[in-house]
Amino acid sequence: MPAIIEIENLSKKFSGFTALKDISLDIKKGDSFAVLGPNGAGKTTLIKILSTLIKPTSGTVRIDGIDIVEDPLEIKKIIGVVSHEPYLYNELTARENLQFFIDLYGCRADPEELLLKVNLKPKADDFVSTFSRGMKQRLSIARSIAHNPKLLLLDEPTVGLDIKSRKDFYKMIKDLHKKGTTILLTTHLMEDAEVLCRNGAIIDGGHVDATGKLMDIRGRISC
């Protein structure tokens, strides 16, 4: 399988502090890949670079062959992002939230279909302010897949979810993966990585310490 993400010698500095140090990684199309590391390892920094919110200090990143710095708009069409912060509008209903993002993306998704996918159809007309954390996270998934992305970036998505919500979340991500979406998950939890991913990298202090099959690298995790 060709790579969907190609990272070459990527570094990121924040006014003198180096958050990512010379990272090189290839993630194959169709893979489910975990970036495992403790707090402060550089996981969110990596996701922000991949989602074109911040620029690398040096190195190159291509997603589906497109350079993320040269063509951030094309990248945004290919990726969906789910973070631990839901980034939804509390004062809108679930359906209105989805319609807002569908209009923003200019795509033709059907909010009803998306709500059905994430088991929120009965809550379509409820304000997001009344939602539990698990419901907000499910709505975030619906929002992030509205434009049918090839690649889903998940940044510690299960933080704050109870066991039942976490299981629901796992099922939804697995279903998306089975249908062909490439999954890149960052987490400090081996359980999340093992349930959702086949391959992974261990990152600490902005360095990649190990990459490979999860079962082969799991002994290297220190968090």
Ligand X SMILES: Nc1ncnc2c1ncn2[C@@H]1O[C@H](COP(=O)(O)OP(=O)(O)O)[C@@H](O)[C@H]1O
Q: For ligand X, what does the binding mask look like between residues 202 and 221, x meaning CB under 6 A?
A: --------------------
Is the CA virtual torsion 197, 135, 53, 223 positive or negative? Answer: negative
Tell me whether residue 31 or residue 156 sits nearer to ligand X (CB atom): 156
Locate 124 and state its tokens.
Answer: 């379509």
Q: Is 51 in the site for Mg ion (CB under 5 A)?
A: no
Q: Rule CB under 5 A: is residue 52 a binding residue for Mg ion? A: no
Q: Contact between 44 and Mg ion (CB under 5 A)?
A: yes
Q: Residue 102 or 169: which CB sits closer to Mg ion?
A: 169
Tell me the residue number closest to Mg ion, measured at CB: 44
- Residue 111 interacting with ligand X (CB under 6 A): no
For ligand X, the binding residue among 2, 40, 65, 212 (CB under 6 A) is 40
Helix residue spans in 59-132 (DSSP H): 72-78, 94-105, 111-117
Q: Which of 148, 130, 149, 43 is nearest to 88 (CA)?
A: 130
Interface with ligand X (CB under 6 A), residue from 25, 37, 62, 192:
37
Nearer to ligand X, 41 or 139 (CB): 41
How many Å apart are CA 120 and CA 136, to the nearest integer? Answer: 10
Distance CA(122)–CA(120), nearest Å, equals 6
- Are 210 and 201 in contact by the 8 Å Cβ rule? The answer is yes
Q: Using the rule CB under 6 A, is 42 a contact of ligand X?
A: yes
Residue 206: which of 3, 31, 35 has the closest Cα?
35
Q: What does the binding site for Mg ion look like in residue numbers (CB under 5 A)? A: 43-44
Q: What does the binding site for ligand X look like in residue numbers (CB under 6 A)? A: 14, 17, 19, 37, 39-45
